[in-house]
Chains A and B, each alone.
Chain A
Amino acid sequence: MRLLGYYLFHTIVNGIKKLFRTWVAVLLGFFVVCGLLGGVVGYTLGSLEGEYSSSYEEDTYIEEDLPLTPEDTAAMMTVLEMAAGGIILLVLLLNVYSADKSGTKIFTMPDVQFLFTAPMKPQSVLLFRVVLQMGATLLASVYLLFQIPNLVLNLGLDMGMVLTLIACWILTLALGQLLTVLVYTLIATHPRFRPVVRYGVFGTVGVLGALLYGTMQVQQLSLPAAAVWLFGSPYTRLIPGVGWLKAMVGFAAEGDWLPVVGCGLATVALCALIVFLTWRMKADFYEDALAAATEKQELLNAAAEGRAAKRKKERADRIHRDVLRHGQGGWMFLHKGVVNHHRFAALRVLSPTGITYFCVYVLASVLILLLGGTEEADGLLWVPAVVVAVIAFFRNLGNPVEEDMRGHLLYLVPDSPRKKLLAALLAGSYATFMDVLPGLVVATLLLQGSVMEAVGWLAFILTLDFMVSALGLLLGMGLPSSLPDQVHRLLQLMCKMLLVMLPMVMALVLGFMWSVTAGLLTAAGVQMVLGLAFFLPAGALLHGGRR
């Protein structure tokens, strides 16, 4: 613990010291001040509104909503608990499934030199890193505390419920991380268990699906009713881990606080048991960890030295290797992007991202059709489109031209900086267009949606991608390279989250007031303008804006 505390304290303090050596501290200060001002203004407006509405209520008769029946309340609670259970199960299964890779990835090369060589059990070394990761998770969860007023005031949840939700989330993350460690220790030491774990995860999902189908058939119930019958049963609260965590939410919704505490404590005990099992297990994972740490170090060195990292595997022979023959000057970056997109795509059309988008569109559309039928599906194209827009946004959290900058290619090509950057950005837009289009077309056909709305979604997602990429470019060029990666990522995320609010609100307001297509096209126009506004100064940052 002394070692962990020492490392943690100095890493955090030194990280902050490094941060304050750069102008980014001013930017972070700006965000904090904005947050505080926003809070004060919001609180003041809220108080004024409260006073106004109480005086208004005295004078006017307000038609009250019909009170919920006990059956409605019970149904809502069951759905809430089931949703929580679904999310918890998903998080835990993902942790187990990815344990092989994520377990190895937690180590860095300095760990090899300083911890693997030290007189410590491998489990201690592993727990050192895991505790650090859990600390980082907890630190990130502090953000949730700021959401308490929002959840209490806007969603009308009581304080106990909000605290339970936060505690449940933190416990889920902790349990997931410890499961990762346990599974990783097991499969790294006994590789024969690797397929068992993989098939076990798929098997669990399969068994749950089979149980659901069986319930539908035996009880003669619809899909939602069968799901409630099966997963909403009070007996599911007895399942260790998932059941206890979802029971916390269920009992909190019922206002029964003692079992909430009991379930929370039981989960903590389960976490302790997992730590104990990990500790007792014979562990020999240094070889895999060393390989992963070496690979990571190679990437870090490549980034620091401005060169591309060596590929781990050779590309397959079927890939076209001699097609990069066109494109002049700066436009070469556009041509390179287009060629590479098709070069590595399945059937020369669908990139891995395109396949993901396609699956999202098709699965969401099929689910809508299964649950609601063709009549209910009318006007629901927004469901898969929103999911794809969110994925497109989160895929775009870095600097889009980072690879070209690392290889110095962007600096070396003798052409106008703006032309080079525009070409690189347009290459990204082309890839997004090719990724989004096939799925969107299929979803529109399946859901019999409006063509104009589909065009609106395409324009919205493309311009969203362009705007976020342009901001990423500006930040990537403007932020000091000495900043830690985490700070780079944090700033990119914060700025982009703030930026996306404006077009999102516009699309929503106009969508409700007028039509979805109008809202989407207006928001697309705004995104295009904002994207250009970010792109123009970025050009000036690349070798002083001169040719």
Chain B
Amino acid sequence: MLEVSHLTKRYGKVFANQNISFALPEGSITVLLGPNGAGKSTTLKAIMGFLRYEGNITVDGLPNKGVAAKRLLGYVPEMPALYPNLTVAEHLEFVARAYRLKDYKAYADELLDRMELTDKKKKFGDELSKGMQQKLSICCALLPRPKYVLFDEPMIGLDPHAIKELKAMFTEMRAAGCTLLISTHIIDSVDALWDQALIMQAGQVLAAVDAHWLEQAGETLEQLFFRLTEQSAEGV
């Protein structure tokens, strides 16, 4: 299980995250919703060990900044950035070497095929469009078959086919026991996919709800989101 306990991240006097706690149940999809500047990306970066913060984050009981925890984590950033002098295929090879993977070639080909990048294998990083860079970024994050994958606004820049394929991959990964945390501010993009939703605003988690509970409450995620964030903004 991935556990975030009392996470606080400050930039000077500004709180990007303020005493956040949550856990990701294994084999589930959690969506992190919130308006711009809510602290979603900061939370993901803290989990990935990129930031210095107060609080505690563990991955299967291991400290998140350690090498062992990193083997379990995958990350797709909001803005993909590729090495300009490596080709698509070489990026995957690079990742495989960094993770010391064996027998990954067939899976790499499968990922490229699903993201329609097979014919772009020899293109350099700086020759790809933004959408293709995002697709390759997803392939690279998934290649080591991480147990937990963090997606930061993964749908931005993708074409409709890739979005459909990515959604299918989310469901398949969950079925295979993988745990996903998807940060987004476009609620429609994760409709009918999620098991747990964390609604954030101003660095705090306003609500953590699961899909069954919301269904029984007779409210949609969108309705709940606007109700909570607008109330919070009005100071209710």
A and B physically associate: yes
Using a CB–CB cutoff of 8 Å, the interface residues on chain A facing chain B are 2-3, 6-7, 10-11, 14-15, 18, 108-110, 112-121, 284, 286-287, 290, 297, 484
Contacts of B73 in A (CB 8 A): 117
Q: Which single residue of chain A is at the shortest CB-CB distance from B90?
A: A10
The dominant DSSP class at the B interface is mixed
CA distance A114 to B92 in the complex (A): 10
Q: Which single residue of chain A is at the shortest CB-CB distance from B150?
A: A117
Confirm or deny: B137 has a beta carbon within 8 angstroms of a beta carbon on chain A.
Answer: yes
Partner of A110, one of B65, B87, B125: B125
Give the segment of B49-57, B108-116, B191-199 that binds chain A. B49-57
- The reply to whether A11 and B85 form a contact with Cβ atoms under 8 Å apart is yes
| B138 to A: closest C-beta gap in Å | 11
Contacts of B83 in A (CB 8 A): 7, 11, 108, 110, 114
| A486 to B: closest C-beta gap in Å | 10
Partner of B97, one of A2, A15, A18, A110: A2
| B85 to A: closest C-beta gap in Å | 4
| A314 to B: closest C-beta gap in Å | 15
- The reply to whether A14 and B137 form a contact with Cβ atoms under 8 Å apart is no
CA distance A110 to B49 in the complex (A): 16
Q: Which single residue of chain B is at the shortest CB-CB distance from A3?
A: B97
CA distance A2 to B48 in the complex (A): 24
Contacts of A287 in B (CB 8 A): 50-52
Q: Which single residue of chain B is at the shortest CB-CB distance from A285?
A: B52
- The reply to whether A119 and B87 form a contact with Cβ atoms under 8 Å apart is no
Instruction: Give the contacts of B82-112 with A (CB-CB under 8 A).
Output: 82-87, 90-91, 93-95, 97-99
CA distance A165 to B22 in the complex (A): 61
Given contacts A18-B124, A119-B99, A120-B98, contact A112 B81 (CB under 8 A): yes
- The reply to whether A286 and B95 form a contact with Cβ atoms under 8 Å apart is no
Contacts of A112 in B (CB 8 A): 50, 77, 81
| B21 to A: closest C-beta gap in Å | 21
CA distance A498 to B84 in the complex (A): 30
CA distance A297 to B80 in the complex (A): 10
- The reply to whether B48 and A11 form a contact with Cβ atoms under 8 Å apart is no
- The reply to whether A115 and B98 form a contact with Cβ atoms under 8 Å apart is yes
Contacts of B34 in A (CB 8 A): none
CA distance A14 to B93 in the complex (A): 15
Q: Which single residue of chain B is at the shortest CB-CB distance from A12?
A: B85
The dominant DSSP class at the A interface is helix
Partner of B81, one of A2, A113, A120, A121: A113
Contacts of B31 in A (CB 8 A): none
Contacts of B137 in A (CB 8 A): 113
| A21 to B: closest C-beta gap in Å | 11
Partner of A15, one of B48, B74, B85, B91: B85
Confirm or deny: B233 has a beta carbon within 8 angstroms of a beta carbon on chain A.
Answer: no
Confirm or deny: B70 has a beta carbon within 8 angstroms of a beta carbon on chain A.
Answer: yes
Using a CB–CB cutoff of 8 Å, the interface residues on chain B facing chain A are 45, 48-52, 65, 67-68, 70-71, 73-75, 77, 79-87, 90-91, 93-95, 97-99, 124-125, 137, 140-141
Partner of A119, one of B50, B70, B79, B81: B70
CA distance A109 to B45 in the complex (A): 14
Partner of A113, one of B67, B75, B86, B97: B75
CA distance A116 to B70 in the complex (A): 9
Contacts of A6 in B (CB 8 A): 93-94, 97
- The reply to whether A113 and B45 form a contact with Cβ atoms under 8 Å apart is no
Q: Which single residue of chain B is at the shortest CB-CB distance from A14?
A: B85
Contacts of A10 in B (CB 8 A): 85-87, 90
| A287 to B: closest C-beta gap in Å | 5
Contacts of A18 in B (CB 8 A): 85, 124
- The reply to whether B67 and A120 form a contact with Cβ atoms under 8 Å apart is yes
Q: Which single residue of chain A is at the shortest CB-CB distance from B48?
A: A117
Contacts of A297 in B (CB 8 A): 79, 81
- The reply to whether B94 and A119 form a contact with Cβ atoms under 8 Å apart is no
Given contacts A6-B97, A116-B50, contact A484 B84 (CB under 8 A): yes
Contacts of A3 in B (CB 8 A): 94, 97-98
CA distance A297 to B137 in the complex (A): 16
Q: Which single residue of chain B is at the shortest CB-CB distance from A124?
A: B67
Contacts of B48 in A (CB 8 A): 116-117
- The reply to whether A117 and B51 form a contact with Cβ atoms under 8 Å apart is no
Contacts of A119 in B (CB 8 A): 67-68, 70-71, 98-99
CA distance A347 to B85 in the complex (A): 46
CA distance A44 to B51 in the complex (A): 63
Contacts of B65 in A (CB 8 A): 284
Of B67, B84, B91, B98, most buried by chain A (CB within 10 Å of CB) is: B98
- The reply to whether A118 and B70 form a contact with Cβ atoms under 8 Å apart is yes
CA distance A2 to B98 in the complex (A): 9
A-B contact pairs, 25 of them (CB 8 A): A3-B98, A6-B93, A6-B94, A7-B86, A7-B94, A14-B86, A14-B124, A18-B124, A110-B82, A112-B50, A112-B81, A113-B137, A114-B83, A114-B91, A117-B48, A117-B73, A118-B70, A119-B68, A119-B98, A119-B99, A284-B52, A286-B50, A286-B51, A484-B84, A484-B85
The 7 closest A-B pairs by CB, nearest first: A109-B81, A118-B98, A119-B70, A14-B85, A119-B71, A11-B85, A3-B97
Contacts of B91 in A (CB 8 A): 114
| B153 to A: closest C-beta gap in Å | 14
CA distance A284 to B125 in the complex (A): 29
Contacts of B77 in A (CB 8 A): 112-113
Contacts of A114 in B (CB 8 A): 83, 91, 94-95, 98, 140
CA distance A120 to B141 in the complex (A): 15
CA distance A6 to B95 in the complex (A): 11
| A112 to B: closest C-beta gap in Å | 7
Contacts of B68 in A (CB 8 A): 119
